[in-house]
Amino acid sequence: MELGPCKVNDAHNVTFNPYSLTENANVFFVDLPIGVGFSYADHGEYVSTSEETAKDVAAFVAIFFEHFSKFKGRAFHMASMSYGGRYIPTFASYVYDQNPRLVAAGMTPINLTSIIIQNGCTDWKTMYPAHYQQVCENRTIAPVLGISTCVEMKRALPRCEKWLKEACYHTTDPINCRAAQSFCATYIQSPFLSSGHNVYDITKPCTPEELSDTLCYPILKEIAAFLSRPSIRTALGVDAAVPSAFQMCNNAVGRRFDASLDEVFPTETYVEALLERGVRVLLYVGENDWVCNWVGNEQMTLNLEWGGADAFRGEPLREWSVHGRAVGVTRGSGELVFATVRGAGHMAPYDKGEEVLVLYQRWLAGEKL
Q: Clarify whether residues 183 and 235 are in a common domain.
A: no
The answer to whether residue 23 scores a pLDDT higher than 90 is no
Whether residues 186 and 331 share a domain: the answer is no
Q: Is 346 a catalytic residue?
A: yes
What whole-number distance in Å separates Cα of residue 352 and Cα of residue 344?
6
Same domain, 167 and 251: no
Domain around 171: 143-198
**Quick one: 161 and 57 in the same domain?**
no
Name the active-site residue from 56, 201, 262, 289: 289
pLDDT of residue 112: 98
Confidence at residue 31, expressed as pLDDT on a 0 to 100 scale: 93
| Same domain assignment for residues 66 and 94 | yes
Q: Is-catalytic flag, 123?
A: no
Q: What is the spatial distance between Cα 46 and Cα 19, in angstroms, rounded to a whole number?
A: 35
Cα–Cα distance, 232 to 209 (Å, whole number): 29
List the catalytic residue out of 56, 201, 346, 351.
346
Tell whether 46 is covered by a domain.
Answer: yes
Give a yes or no: residue 281 inside a domain.
Answer: yes
Instruction: Tell me how many domains the chain contains.
Output: 2
User: What is the per-residue pLDDT across 106-118, written as a single tens digit (0 to 9) for each?
Assistant: 999 999 999 999 9
Is 88 domain-assigned?
A: yes
Identify whether residues 166 and 91 lie together within a single domain. no
In a shared domain, residues 97 and 232: yes
Q: Does the residue 245 lie in any domain?
A: yes
Judgement on whether residues 178 and 248 belong to the same structural domain of the protein: no
d(C-alpha 184, C-alpha 307), whole Å: 33
- 240 versus 87: the higher-pLDDT residue is 87
Instruction: Please check whether residues 109 and 157 belong to one and the same domain.
Output: no
Catalytic residue among 20, 50, 80, 82: 82
What would you report as the CA-atom Rg of the chain, rounded to the nearest whole angstrom?
Answer: 21
76, 175: one domain: no
More confident residue, 24 or 258: 258
pLDDT at position 199 over 90: yes
Active site residue 43: no
276-324 pLDDT, tens digit each: 999 999 999 999 999 999 999 999 999 999 999 999 999 999 999 999 9
Percentage of the chain exceeding pLDDT 70: 100
pLDDT for residue 241 is more than 90: no
Does any domain span residue 96? yes
Residue 135 in domain = no
Question: Which of 278, 363, 348, 340 has the alpha carbon at shortest distance from 81?
Answer: 348
> Domain end: 131, 164, 198, which one?
198
Please write the tens of the pLDDT for every residue from 316-349. Answer: 999 999 999 999 999 999 999 999 999 999 999 9
- List 321's β-bridge partners, or say none: 326
What would the mean pLDDT of 215-227 be, rounded to a whole number? 95
Domain co-membership, 16 together with 116: yes
Tell me what pLDDT residue 240 has: 87
Looking up residue 275, the CATH number of its domain turns out to be: 3.40.50.1820
Residues 245, 357, single domain; the answer is: yes
Q: What is the rounded distance in angstroms from the CA atom of residue 88 to the CA atom of residue 360?
A: 16
Confidence of residue 79 (pLDDT cuts 50, 70, 90): very high
Please state the rounded mean pLDDT for residues 8-25: 94
pLDDT at 245 > cutoff 90: no
How high is the pLDDT of residue 244? 79
CA distance 226 to 203: 29
Give residue-wise pLDDT tens across range 83-139: 999 999 999 999 999 999 999 999 999 999 999 999 999 999 999 999 999 999 999
Q: State pLDDT tens for residues 259-273.
A: 999 999 999 999 999
Q: Distance (Å, rounded) from C-alpha 342 to C-alpha 321?
A: 10
